[in-house]
Amino acid sequence: MNQFVAPVEKYFNEEVDSKKIDEDAKIPAETLNGLKELGLFGMQVPEEYGGLGLSNTMYARLGEITALDGSIAVTLAAHQAIGLKMWISNGGFADIMTVFAKTEVVDADGVTKDKMTAFIVERAFGGVTSGLPEDKLGIRGSNTCEVAYDNVPVPLDNVIGEVGGGFKYGQQWSRDDEEAHRYTTRVSWGQMTAEYACTRKQFNKRLSEFGMIQEKFAMMAMNAYVMESMAYLTAGMMDRPGVPDCSLEAAIVKVFSSEGSWVCVSEALQVLGGLGFTKNFAYERYLRDCRILLIFEGTNEILRMYIALTGMQYAGKILTAKIKDLKRGNVSLGASMLWKKLRASANKLEQSTFLFGTLVESLLYRFGKTIVDEQLVLKRVADIIINLYAMTATLSRASRSICIGLRNHDHEVLIANTFCDEAYYKNNHLMMQLQKHGTENNDADIKKIAKQVLEKRAYICSHPLDRTF
């Protein structure tokens, strides 16, 4: 692993000028050439085709380094994965593109439906044109533009997988590997911000002595730990023989990590106060770069619908069985010590999973097929599923750390137990809101407010200084 990590780390530390890339809104040719020489444009391309042939886990590890520059990270990730018609990363210079398009597919019942299919499209096929680069808020050095396809002939051999099965490929390629390398930048922010908090004084006390500042660092540490745990658990699953379908898990990682990253960088900037708002520090660039994570590769709103509808099919039943198997585990001393430290959190996970399975049954009974139109219900369902997977990944990692005696494993246990406590109570609240007559559910009023605003296309309340006399 070090033979890949060390030279890439050295290159990014010594040769990449992220500030200049952001200011010029372009990655210099010499930097791109350096990335090519390191093989980073072919990280997951099989060796027989000239790539590095890395596993998902190894790709995620290198991604920790490439994520130090948001523009480069997106450029490399897009090269490994996908393109769409609008907002295409590398669309101005890519000659070979992976394109997802709706195609008519006849299902088992003889009904024709539109389903997503993945194709390999070459610019040389003809009919492919690129628009001007977009002037973006963040990741400014990456090339993003519109790509138009006008009657492009695509051979049948260029279909990836089966016709109509493209969505799962887009999910698996992009979500996990993209998000697996996002958390490391948050760790870097935490380290830089901690140094400032431990030296900067206010009211004759270091910032690090104030409770609200301590809360921010605990939150950043927990978020980083959970992001790491979920990302590498999912990458490991994807590396198993047979290319298992991990699209649900990958979508979960994307949603949790993108939102967690946004909170982390915002809080890190807050610790620095006015300094964080200046261009003298990298925080304002991190904030701008980070915002896109909630939008591209599928907006988090769309992915929550996917997570909820997919997860409801089997999550409660399968997770319950897996947790019971895990708890049986080995009967060695190591296992008994492990569960002594994590027993309470494991019980919370088991209870939350069982209640979720019961909840899914009641929701399907109440809504039937119309559940697909109940977006506010599905949003809560998705958040529960995300929390369950996060708890599972976190406890799994903390368990491993205890078993093999990693340094600071007690700190990991503390983080895991604290996170699981918070996730458990969040899930309880969400499940209360999803009860048929839940008193804490304001969905009807939320919809009414939105309807009145949208009908007028404006905020309709009178100004506080208006009068009727």
Tens-place pLDDT, residues 138-185: 999 999 899 988 989 999 899 988 888 877 666 555 544 444 445 444
pLDDT for position 114: 86
Read off the pLDDT of each residue in 216-225 and give the average, rounded to a whole number. 94
pLDDT for position 315: 56
Looking up tokens 């697909």 gives 372
pLDDT for position 453: 97
**DSSP per residue over 390-438, as a string?**
HHHHHHHHHHHHHHHT-TTHHHHHHHHHHHHHHHHHHHHHHHHHTSTT-
Least Cα distance to 87 among 347, 295, 304, 336 occurs for 295
| Element (DSSP H or E) covering residue 118 | strand 112-122
| Largest CA-CA distance found in the chain, in angstroms, rounded | 82
Reported as a single tens digit per residue, the pLDDT across 283-300 is 899 999 999 999 987 899
Reported as a single tens digit per residue, the pLDDT across 317-342 is 565 555 555 555 543 333 444 568 99
Read off the pLDDT of each residue in 405-414 and give the average, rounded to a whole number. 95
In degrees, rounded to 5, the angle at the alpha carbon of residue 163 between the alpha carbons of residues 56 and 169 is: 15
124 pLDDT band, cuts 50/70/90, is very high
Q: Is 440 helix (H, G, I), strand (E, B) or coil?
A: coil
Total residue count of the chain as it appears in this document = 469
Read off the pLDDT of each residue in 435-456 and give the average, rounded to a whole number. 92
pLDDT for position 81: 55
What is the β-pairing status of strands 112-122 and 96-106? antiparallel
pLDDT for position 189: 60
**CA separation for the pair 303, 204 (Å, rounded):** 47
Mean pLDDT of the chain: 86
Provide the whole-model pTM.
Answer: 0.84
Read off the pLDDT of each residue in 360-368 and give the average, rounded to a whole number. 89
pLDDT for position 337: 47
pLDDT for position 464: 94
Q: Report whether pLDDT(376) > 90.
A: yes
Reported as a single tens digit per residue, the pLDDT across 75-88 is 887 766 556 466 78
With beta carbons less than 8 A apart as the criterion, state whether 154 and 119 touch.
yes
> What is the percent of the chain where pLDDT is above 70?
87
Active-site residue set: 297
**CA separation for the pair 383, 370 (Å, rounded):** 20
- Output b/e per residue, 417-426; b: 16+ Cβ within 10 A: bbbbeebbee
In degrees, rounded to 5, the angle at the alpha carbon of residue 446 between the alpha carbons of residues 440 and 449 is: 145
**CA separation for the pair 417, 441 (Å, rounded):** 28
pLDDT for position 77: 78
How buried is residue 157: exposed, middle or buried, by Cβ count under 10 Å (0-12/13-18/19+)? exposed
Q: Report whether pLDDT(243) > 80.
A: no
Taking CA atoms, 155 is separated from 23, 117, 120, 204, 418, in Å, by 41, 13, 9, 71, 53
Q: Report whether pLDDT(434) > 80.
A: yes
pLDDT for position 190: 64
Read off the pLDDT of each residue in 440-447 and give the average, rounded to a whole number. 92
